[in-house]
Structure 1
Amino acid sequence: MLRYIVWRTAAMIPTLLLISALVFSIIELPPGDYFESYVAELRAMGEAADMAEIEALRERYGFDQPAPIRYFHWLGGMLTGDFGYSFEYRLPVSDVVGDRLWLTMLVSFVTIMVTWVIAFPIGIYSATHQYSWGDYGLTFVGLIGIAIPNFMLALILMYFANIWFGTSIGHLMDQEYLGQSMSWAKAKSILEHLWIPVLIIGTAGTAGMIRRLRANLLDELQKQYVVTARAKGLPPFRALVKYPLRMSLNFFISDIGSILPAIISGAEITAIVLSLETTGPMLIKALQSQDMYLAGSFLMFLAFLTVIGVLVSDIALAILDPRIRLQGGSTK
């Protein structure tokens, strides 16, 4: 196990280097750069751009140098904790992400917890009461949850909240707290608004997890070792939890690789619809405006979390399921 962990950790270095090169190349693919987009935006609004200032900024941040030199400068800065400067926000990248990162983590973490708390009991019930009225009803609700896109559900809730209650359900806090430092009143406002994005974002995830848990658990319940455990008089609940449920959680463990970056990125389209102060809309805006350092650093952080998540899931799967081995060789 230790040898496997050391090997996988060492393999992360070339993997992340390759990802960084791909990220930089993709961001560089569109013609021009942020400064050209900024000048074009000013001209479209009928304003004059100070070209001397633009050229000074281009030279200051190395945009007058070849792309390979800028790539190594960006990569070296990230290794020393300098993630660059956001031209869109006129601030260092670490300052731009700031509160948005913590708000995104809060929304995503609560959504994941709610998803698990709801999906696990329902999935177990559906599998152990197959083809019952409860199973049919929960299956129908789950299929509806999967079929409705999150952004459409957000639009529907916004419409009915405005029609029925005359209120807007956008943002993660009241307007008066936007841009203010954290306080008890602001934290209370965030908690009051939190349930709406959690409900919307978690709908599809909860429905999907219920379906997968039900399918995996049904497959395990038909296997011979469950029949043998029941024949030996093992209590039904213990016979369910000790082996079938444990074996059916493999998909849950393997999802760690995607859950970690999802905690940071969040549901981008839903966040835009609800005007949430999270990192998803910020990333999309940075990509659109070619804010290279902000977009590139953010994507690299997501890649790092993905690589870590995959490593953690592989190790956890080997611990959870004795049928999975981390070393090669044949078995007898």
Structure 2
Amino acid sequence: MLQYIFRRMLSAIPFMFMVSLTVFILIQLPPGDFVDSYAASLSASGEVIDAATMADMRHRFGLDQNILMQYFQWMSGIILHGDFGYSFEWNSPVSALLWERMGLTLILSICTLMLTWMIALPIGIYSAVRRYSIGDYFFTLVGFVGLAVPQFLLALVMMFAGVKYFGIDVTGLFSQDYANAPWSWDRVVDLLKHLWIPMIILGTASSASLIRIMRANLIDQLYMPYVVTARAKGLSETKLLLKYPVRIALNPFVSSIGWILPNLISGAVITSIVLNLQTVGPQLYQSLLSQDIYLSGAILLLICLLTVVGMLISDILLVLLDPRIRFE
């Protein structure tokens, strides 16, 4: 097991190198740079910036160098010093802007993933065992609605319902008193009070998708010869269900960690903007608009790293869950 984990971690190093290079090239493909974007924003407000000042800003930010030199300096700072660069727009180190938002994003994503599993696993088992029943049809309808309704639209509906019928504001992860306060037990409690709304919104589509996956895979297993044989030998239905077919049908569930975890982060940008969440989604959107290459590159790189970590966790859990899967 340890050898397998070590080998997988080593194989992730060249992959992350290629991902980082691809990310850095992609975020520089749009025409212009941060200085051009900054000059355009000033021009829209009636101010004019001359060419000499723009050239001086490019030299100060290192934007007058070629793309490979910029990439080398960026990666060497990350590897040697843990420095993700300097945010042009915020005039601050990227690390100072990123870590608290990334921590809140991970908390929200992990809690949403746990909620998704808690909802999808029992409903998927019920729908497979009681297929074509009234309950199965009901959960199928709910699942299709969950897949069809965009997350940002569900967020808007819940915001309207919260203000109109309950008199509460469901936006943000903190109340005004704790938004910029230092971390304390009261701030943690305030976070937990505001966390459940975005968890429900972000977990709706994932739960609906995993319910259908669990239902389809379990139905395939329920009529396998080994299930019929075990039932004929007098094994109780609950023990038979949980010990064999559910365990095998869980494989797609476990493998979904690799794509659900980064998808919850990158796919919730519009929802985070609508709900005014203090996560990396709005920060990524704004940094891409302003061509703040080091901030947007750091966020995209961390999302890709989460994908690699999620796939590694999925592979390890699959080996532990299903003895038929071998490291080879």
Aligned to 1:78: 78
Residue identity opposite 1:289 in structure 2: S
1:52, CA displacement in angstroms? 6.0
8 Å contact from structure 1 (residues 272, 281) kept in 2: yes
Alignment partner of 2:194: what SS? helix
Aligned to 1:177: 178
Aligned to 2:111: 110
CA distance in 2, matches of 1:211, 1:261: 21
Please report the RMSD computed on the Cα atoms of aligned residues, expressed in angstroms: 2.1
1:58, CA displacement in angstroms? 2.4
Aligned to 2:67: 67
Aligned to 1:326: 327
Aligned to 2:301: 300
Could you list the per-position Cα deviations for residues 148-189 of structure 1 after superposition, in whole angstroms to 9, with x for gaps in the alignment?
111111111222333334443221222343323223443333
Decide whether aligned partners of structure 1 residues 136 and 174 sit closer, same or farther in structure 2, where only a CA change above 3 A counts: same
Aligned to 1:314: 315
Aligned to 2:221: 220
8 Å contact from structure 1 (residues 42, 48) kept in 2: yes
Decide whether aligned partners of structure 1 residues 7 and 99 sit closer, same or farther in structure 2, where only a CA change above 3 A counts: closer
CA distance in 2, matches of 1:242, 1:7: 31
Aligned to 1:149: 150
8 Å contact from structure 1 (residues 286, 294) kept in 2: yes
1:52-63 alignment, distance < 5 Å: 54-63=54-63
Alignment partner of 2:291: what SS? coil
Task: Flag structure 2 segments of 5+ consecutive residues without an equivalent.
Answer: none
8 Å contact from structure 1 (residues 126, 214) kept in 2: yes
CA distance in 1, matches of 2:133, 2:121: 18
CA distance in 2, matches of 1:326, 1:183: 44
Alignment partner of 2:144: what SS? helix
CA distance in 2, matches of 1:209, 1:82: 38
1:83, CA displacement in angstroms? 0.4
Alignment partner of 1:173: what SS? coil
Could you list the per-position Cα deviations for residues 193-236 of structure 1 after superposition, in whole angstroms to 9, with x for gaps in the alignment?
22211111111111111111111111111100011111111111
CA distance in 1, matches of 2:44, 2:245: 63
Aligned to 1:9: 9
Residue identity opposite 1:238 in structure 2: K
CA distance in 1, matches of 2:47, 2:133: 67
Alignment partner of 2:207: what SS? helix
CA distance in 2, matches of 1:185, 1:160: 27
Larger displacement relative to structure 2 (261-270 or 190-199):
261-270
Residue identity opposite 2:76 in structure 1: G
Alignment partner of 2:65: what SS? coil
1:299, CA displacement in angstroms? 1.1
CA distance in 2, matches of 1:51, 1:255: 51
Aligned to 1:330: none
Aligned to 1:21: 21
Larger displacement relative to structure 2 (37-46 or 258-267):
258-267
8 Å contact from structure 1 (residues 123, 211) kept in 2: yes
CA distance in 2, matches of 1:112, 1:316: 15
Residue identity opposite 1:17 in structure 2: F
1:59, CA displacement in angstroms? 1.9
Decide whether aligned partners of structure 1 residues 219 and 198 sit closer, same or farther in structure 2, where only a CA change above 3 A counts: same
Larger displacement relative to structure 2 (114-123 or 2-11):
2-11
Could you list the per-position Cα deviations for residues 113-136 of structure 1 after superposition, in whole angstroms to 9, with x for gaps in the alignment?
111112211111111112221111
CA distance in 2, matches of 1:186, 1:2: 38
CA distance in 2, matches of 1:137, 1:278: 34
CA distance in 2, matches of 1:277, 1:184: 19
Residue identity opposite 1:141 in structure 2: V
1:4, CA displacement in angstroms? 4.7
Residue identity opposite 2:226 in structure 1: Y
8 Å contact from structure 2 (residues 202, 264) kept in 1: no
CA distance in 1, matches of 2:97, 2:121: 37
8 Å contact from structure 2 (residues 125, 218) kept in 1: yes
Residue identity opposite 2:63 in structure 1: F
Aligned to 2:188: 187
8 Å contact from structure 2 (residues 174, 191) kept in 1: yes
CA distance in 2, matches of 1:163, 1:4: 55
CA distance in 1, matches of 2:151, 2:327: 38
Identity among equivalent pairs (%): 50
Residue identity opposite 1:84 in structure 2: G
Residue identity opposite 1:302 in structure 2: I
Say whether residues 1:133 and 2:134 are aligned partners. Answer: yes
Larger displacement relative to structure 2 (159-168 or 211-220):
159-168
CA distance in 2, matches of 1:112, 1:260: 7
Aligned to 2:32: 32
Residue identity opposite 1:28 in structure 2: Q
1:48, CA displacement in angstroms? 4.1
